[in-house]
Amino acid sequence: MEILHSREQEQLTTFENNMKTIDPQKPVLVTGGSGYMASWIIKYLLDQGFTVHATVRSIHNRAKIQHLLDMEHRSAGTLKLFEADLLRENAFDKAMRGCELVIHTASPFRLTGVKDADEELIRPALQGVQNVFSSAYGSTTVKRIVLTSSIVALIGDTIEIADLPNKKVDENCWNTTSTISHQPYPFSKTIAEREAWTLSKQMDHFDLVVINPGLIFGPSLSKRIDSTSISLMIQILSGKFRTGVPKGAQAVVDVRDVAKAHIRAGFTPQASGRHLVAADLADFLDIARIIRKNYPNYPLPQKHVPKWLFKLIAPLLGYSRQFVERNIGYDFKFNNTYAVSDLNIRFTPFEKTVLDQVDQLANDQLIADKR
């Protein structure tokens, strides 16, 4: 389905040449294989002829796995699916057998609509890390774990950036202000990543490399729309924000670049530490401006709404007033230079990211085609 551009071929060749510590003949485990971002990791690995062990919650849920099976048919690689729930002890033992590289992406990603944060976000994120590390500890083969964390493990609220030593978010930062009641998703990612670093110090026969992506956009390989990155784009297109959006740029990045960053983190022997993988800054109005160029007929937002007004209606949209107070109207600044150099990343222009995503949603008839 996807033809690699020459730039991407060149990038993938570079990481192939770097494969020194991880044996490319050995299977690679990708957890959360049916997810939006993990599906791209699996696709790139299969296209390069790897054997991929992917964990999913149910191997019988065709709606979640069919695109993976189709991808395998079109690729040079081999895919083996295993069932694993983050909350179940030893769930990853079988899938990890024979693997030298584990890419642990599975973790719930929900920004709104959370009723029980402990149950829905925190326990799966934390216990997932504990169970994956415990299986790796028990294995004789694992040499490296690449963990999908998030930029939200670096910083909790945008208001805090002005107090940082360099006034920019980078890999030296830790989110110290999110809690189970204020920003539970960032809290889940922060404690899960902290646990991973603690465990990796105790388990010295494999190392840990962490990817901290910004807000991810770009085309999906499946027709699922329940992933937050996809539902956010559908909300922008559906008119939910037609009366206006709050001012507040996010660090954004293309899903394909994040997937490649994980693979590079796995196969680049010298890769180490945390990696802030974000390309640009954009808010919903910037995204609407890009979409309007090719799709003028969607009910897209046209202006910013004042902070006081957004604060008033925020709970109706699933955001707390405290979140609005501490995040809207402040400049988000970040420094991605370490990730770019350590993982040799070249980012996709954000305009292409957005338009490719809208094209995919329209072509797959997940939204009305209003070109």
108 binds ligand NAP, rule: CB under 6 A: yes
Q: In the set 15, 44, 109, 241, which binds ligand NAP (CB under 6 A)?
A: 109
106 binds ligand NAP, rule: CB under 6 A: yes
User: How far is the C-alpha of 328 from the C-alpha of 307, rounded, in Å?
Assistant: 7
User: How far is the C-alpha of 219 from the C-alpha of 232, rounded, in Å?
Assistant: 13
**Least Å distance between CB 154 and ligand NAP?**
11
246 binds ligand NAP, rule: CB under 6 A: no
Q: In the set 139, 158, 229, 353, which binds ligand NAP (CB under 6 A)?
A: 229
* Type of residue found at 161: I
Stretch that binds ligand NAP, among 79-87, 95-103, 193-201, 330-338 (CB under 6 A): 79-87
User: How far is the C-alpha of 172 from the C-alpha of 233, rounded, in Å?
Assistant: 31
Q: At what angle do helices 350-363 and 284-294 cross, to 10 degrees?
A: 60
- In the block, tokens 């008119």 appear at 239
Helix (H, G, I), strand (E, B) or coil at 5: coil
Q: In the set 2, 47, 83, 85, which binds ligand NAP (CB under 6 A)?
A: 85
Let me know: does 89 contact 134? Beta carbons within 8 Å.
Answer: yes
Q: What is the distance between the terminal CA atoms of the chain, rounded to a whole angstrom?
A: 22
- Binding marks (x or -) toward ligand NAP, 45..64, rule CB under 6 A? ------------x------x
What radius of gyration, in Å, describes the C-alpha atoms of the chain?
20
Stretch that binds ligand NAP, among 131-139, 174-182, 208-216, 296-304 (CB under 6 A): 208-216
- Give the residues across from 55 on adjacent strands: 82
Chain residue whose CB lies nearest ligand NAP? 35
**Least Å distance between CB 68 and ligand NAP?**
10
**Least Å distance between CB 122 and ligand NAP?**
12
Q: In the set 215, 234, 249, 281, which binds ligand NAP (CB under 6 A)?
A: 215
Q: Which residues contact 296 (CB under 8 A, 6 or more apart)?
A: 370
148 binds ligand NAP, rule: CB under 6 A: yes
Let me know: does 233 contact 361? Beta carbons within 8 Å.
Answer: yes
Q: Where on the chain is the footprint of ligand NAP (CB under 6 A)?
A: 32, 34-38, 57, 64, 85-87, 105-109, 124, 148, 150, 189, 213, 215-216, 227-229
